[in-house]
Structure 1
């Protein structure tokens, strides 16, 4: 029987995602077992609902990354330590995105947020340990002489707030069945588990608290070179359309910082409708994430509480063994 056009697109998207992301970044992650293990969240959780729409989640991660680098220290962490940017022959970073490095960064991020949502408890804990180990290696000094440290509680709080805001806001705007009001606060409250596992403290646990947290950092934020290059009308299509949608998710003060002005409400609604169709068209074509389906099957017979003391983080700050960056990268490979 001949395949329908939608089935052809679906198969193509699945093959591409399997080849580009799952084959490289999901190795060693367990979703199908052990039976009865709810992992960190489990069935009925807001996290399971939000992260099940992979395409909206990925868009939310782009929103988080854009806002995150308004902190100059995070910008310089990336310039000094990340493969996200291009480098010259001497290894000096240039404020230009390296497509291959960006693809690797996105692959790691997707694997982490799918693995911690749907993986077994052991999988989620191992992923958190690996990310913490990478953070432990990111220390340095900005060109203006200010030191930065990825283990700094203030940095962790800002980083956490941008991520939870980006994913939750993308969900509210572009999920076909979004959580809203008090129900979206369930997501903020549950997601704190991830922030704590990465070493975060004093984290916001509601939408309102997250907005207040983000705004409290305004005095130390700035439009860095990287942000300036990724902003404005001179970006090529469809990059400019995606960039607009990313900036559209920012709080008002963030938009003011980058001189982003909302269009007329009718035009804004039309633009959001177009982005909604693209994101949900991709989601429909790709079909449900197999990791989500495997997690559902894992707990189909019921949840065994003895398998997952997942309501509190297992990590005790300062308890990680010291590992070199090379050792950590071999774990990611």
Structure 2
């Protein structure tokens, strides 16, 4: 069996990760997103591009899913309509493509992506296990999903990102994500860290560790459909995401809280993993002709 060179190993890791995150149509979508001419919503040096283009998003994305699950109505909608258990990779690919298009794509493509998501939200409705009705297009639920996402993305970037933002950059990031949130139907998305903290506090009374939330956490943290070779790196990713959750969420999701380990070993392991993924994803792409 031929021995692979370090560049070949790096390229294989890059391709495997990209295939998981972007799906089979990933290369074509990447070319369209980054190479199509036309105006964009955000400038090349914008904080939103800096955050969403960094591999710390792997940690932030998993934290966001765990945090979002604590709203019973949002979790009921995800459990009934997202296919996160039957097709978790498909859901990841759709989400990552939406983020890429709205962050890096042309304004026309970004508007189209938003329209598709709004149409999907308009069709999602049902009854939660506690008897309450929900609608994915409900501005209140949309706001919760948004603030849980941007809080997670930003915190992961500040801890594991290659170039953390300064205070002004954090506020600019939130102001830029608010542009997309408003287009999705969020009426008053937070535009500063102070506003984000206030919004998260305001939702605290509505957040509960339901059976659906705990099932989602077990699935995401313990039994995701990944190859055995990826189990150890994924365990590090999971521990890093859990380590960034607020302490009050742990009993609700029945996940461990080990502040000393999370501040030392988990943080070091998470930093090493994110750097390794960043190194792999930065491997040169094959020439196209």
TM superposition score category, shorter chain reference: 0.7 to 0.9
Q: Out of 261, 264, 267, which is 1:269 matched to?
A: 264
Q: How many residues align?
A: 270
Taking structure 1 as the reference length, the TM-score comes to 0.73
Task: Give, in whole Å, the separation in 2 of the partners of 1:286 and 1:171.
Answer: 16
Deviation per CA, 1:34-79: give whole Å up to 9, x if none.
25x2x111122101111221x2113211111110010111221122
Q: Out of 34, 48, 70, which is 2:37 matched to?
A: 34
Does residue 11 of structure 1 match 2:3? no
Q: Which has the higher helix share?
A: 2
Task: Give, in whole Å, the separation in 1 of the partners of 2:33 and 2:237.
Answer: 33
Q: Match for residue 227 of structure 2?
A: none
Task: Give, in whole Å, the separation in 1 of the partners of 2:27 and 2:191.
Answer: 29
Range that drifts further, 71-80 or 162-171: 71-80
Q: Is the 8 A contact 2:41 2:107 kept in 1?
A: yes
Q: Out of 182, 187, 198, which is 1:196 matched to?
A: 182
Q: Out of 77, 80, 103, which is 1:117 matched to?
A: 103
Q: Secondary structure at the match of 2:134?
A: strand
Task: Give, in whole Å, the separation in 2 of the partners of 1:26 and 1:222.
Answer: 40
Q: Match for residue 156 of structure 1?
A: 142
Q: Match for residue 284 of structure 1?
A: 279
Q: Is the 8 A contact 1:67 1:162 kept in 2?
A: yes
Change (3 A) 1:18 1:161: closer
- Pairs within 5 Å for 1:1-333: 5-17=5-17, 19-20=19-20, 21-24=22-25, 29-34=32-37, 37=39, 39-53=40-54, 55-85=55-85, 98=86, 101-229=87-215, 230=217, 235=222, 238=232, 240-255=235-250, 257-258=252-253, 260-264=256-260, 268-287=263-282
Change (3 A) 1:172 1:105: same
| Structure 1 stretches lacking a partner, 5+ long | 86-97, 291-333
Larger relative contact order (C-alpha < 8 A, sep ≥ 6)?
1
Deviation per CA, 1:119-148: give whole Å up to 9, x if none.
011111111111111111111111322000
Change (3 A) 1:25 1:73: farther
| Structure 2 stretches lacking a partner, 5+ long | 224-230
Q: Secondary structure at the match of 2:25?
A: helix
